[in-house]
Amino acid sequence: MEIVLVAPEIPHNTGCAARLAAALGLRLHLVEPLGFSLDDHYLKRAGLDYWPLVDLVVHPDLDRLRAHLSRGASRPFDERLRLFTARGGTSLFEADFAPDDVLVFGSESRGLPAELLEAHAERRVYVPIRAAVRSLNLANVVCLSAYTALARAGVPLPDNDGRYEAHPLAAADVRPPSRVVRIDA
């Protein structure tokens, strides 16, 4: 399973998604433009000392993300998409997921591009909330959705009884930019 943030704007939310990706062993993809620098203090702080465990890939646009995630995939990219939106689709708790799904989340202020949602209306997923609430925090939705999708797809969650063993590089000052793979073509 892959996590994708399209044009994220708030470094703290992206840092929290990176920490989650590290905790679950999932790759995190960021699609530009980013609303912050990868050198941002708040991004590093939200990811804490887990950056050595983050598999981070940055794409200049959705077309390059699609090309990258299509290479060697067993299913077509469009069939793997799960587009998270506050505006309709299938409830997260009723949706089916597969182990190779691509969980795609939009920016904090704009969500996912309308043309993407329209082209793949049957791939939309939402988290149920009261009508008086516009949306949930991006980091919260990514966390809830990733755990739920993995469980519903039958993917084993990390086997941990609460023990913590620091990564050998945890004490090092590992910054997010040192973990990035940039996809330009």
User: What pLDDT is attached to residue 89?
Assistant: 95
Query: Cα–Cα distance between 113 and 143 in angstroms, integer?
Result: 21
Q: What is the pLDDT of residues 134-158, one digit of tens each?
A: 899 999 999 999 999 999 999 999 9
Number of domains composing the chain: 1
Cβ contact 81:104 at 8 Å: yes
Q: What is the pLDDT of residues 32-60, one digit of tens each?
A: 999 988 876 767 666 567 777 889 999 99
Instruction: State which residues form the domain around 68.
Output: 2-182
User: What pLDDT is attached to residue 162?
Assistant: 82
Q: Where are the beta strands (DSSP E) in the chain?
A: 2-6, 27-31, 55-59, 81-84, 90-91, 102-105, 124-126, 180-182
More confident residue, 177 or 51: 51
User: What pLDDT is attached to residue 170?
Assistant: 65
Q: What is the pLDDT of residues 55-105, one digit of tens each?
A: 999 999 999 999 999 999 899 999 999 999 998 899 999 999 999 999 999
More confident residue, 166 or 119: 119
Q: Which residue has the tokens 């993407």?
A: 116
How do strand 27-31 and strand 55-59 relate by DSSP bridges? parallel
User: What pLDDT is attached to residue 160?
Assistant: 83
Question: Residue 168 belongs to a domain with what CATH number?
Answer: 3.40.1280.10
